[in-house]
Amino acid sequence: MKLIDFDYQLPAEMIARKPLAGRDAARLLLPAGNHRGNSGLRDANIRDLPALVQPGDVWVINDTKVIPARLFGRKKSGGKVELLLLEAQGECDIWLAWGKANKPLKAGDCIEIGEGFSGEILRRDGKQVEVRLIADDVAAAIEAHGHMPLPPYIDRPDSDEDKNRYQTVFARHAGAVAAPTAGLHLSAELMAAMQTAGAIFAHITLHVGPGTFQPVQVDNIAAHHMHEEAYIVPQDAADQVNLARREGRRVVAVGTTSLRTLEAAGQGGELIAGSGRTDLFITPGYDFRIVDALLTNFHLPRSTLLMLVCALAGHAPVMAAYRHAIENGYRFYSYGDAMFVSRSG
């Protein structure tokens, strides 16, 4: 398929720039085939998720924790610098980062970030730099001086509210620089109601990188190279998922990051526990081995995430659902509304 097949026009006012008052207050779109007795699209609410649960479903959630990865500082010359931390390199004081400054950063540049907190550029490769962070306690300094890495389309400074709301209630393992956004909808109360309805929650971890927001730049999508992310599948999660598949119960991915992890670690048809890295690029025609259904937000046009959803649920039904969402005032992207889709075929 071509890149233009995944394009659509979204009015700017439909981009959700702030979360709703209630974590589980978002709307939920159910495309054709997801609601018994309804052949069309159904407008629902996230709080209706317990009614969608089939007893014994395994709902797989990504428990990565977003770090305050945006750091602002100044060179000794006074020039402003912004760093977006990407991934720690072994020790927590050396990081790969995206660097932005009025003049390109170079090896040896020193950056003052806050009191007792500074950085030294070790090397530069295009937009990416390797930086040594210097503080008595680097992790504590990042927490104290860092800002939440809101996606660029939110286009506002982060706030204290974002420290809580751009983070899932089940976040455990620090390392992401973007939130697994479908999980943002799940409150503790909603998850309890889903468990009462028969849902089983399994935890995996994929540390979401900023590449998730990068648009595809090539017309032939097969030529696109996917960004790489680190993941962990615990043994208990693998056991829960594999047992569900053997018994014919559904495996539901909460978010595209959970889906990519499951499919990356399940290429042989059985989910394998352990850690790894994946650059799996899922597009229409992909043969799903693990996932039966997906809870997901609405994604950017021409994005790998939209392609993934189309691969699972079918290109025509998903694009029709997006047109319906636009026509009916749904909120889009990270702080926006959601849809629930099942595997086509």
CATH of region 3-66+163-342, choose from 3.40.1780.10, 3.20.20.70, 3.30.1120.130, 3.40.640.10: 3.40.1780.10
Distance CA 230, CA 215 (A): 20
Nearest to 340 by CA among 323, 318, 319: 318
71-142: CATH topology is Thrombin, subunit H (2.40.10)
- Structure-block tokens of residue 19: 């979360």
Distance CA 82, CA 70 (A): 7
Residue 104 Cα distances to 46, 69, 81, 100, 209, angstroms: 45, 20, 10, 7, 22
Residues 50, 194 contacting (CB under 8 angstroms):
yes
How does pLDDT run along the chain (345 residues), one tens digit per residue? 899 999 999 999 999 999 999 999 999 999 755 544 445 899 999 999 999 999 999 999 999 999 999 999 999 999 999 999 999 887 779 999 999 998 999 999 999 999 999 999 999 998 899 999 999 999 999 999 999 999 989 999 999 999 999 999 999 999 999 999 999 999 999 999 999 999 999 999 999 987 776 778 899 988 888 888 999 999 999 999 999 999 999 999 999 999 999 999 999 999 999 999 999 999 999 999 999 999 999 999 999 999 999 999 999 999 999 999 999 999 999 999 999 999 986
Tell me which DSSP letter residue 323 carries: H
Nearest to 311 by CA among 330, 288, 329, 279: 288
Nearest to 166 by CA among 264, 291, 297, 45: 297
Q: 215: phi > 0 → left, psi -120 to 50 → alpha, else beta; which?
A: beta
Give residue limits of the domains in the chain: 3-66+163-342, 71-142
Distance of CA 179 to the CA centre of its chain: 5
Residue 132 Cα distances to 83, 97, 129, 302, angstroms: 12, 10, 10, 35
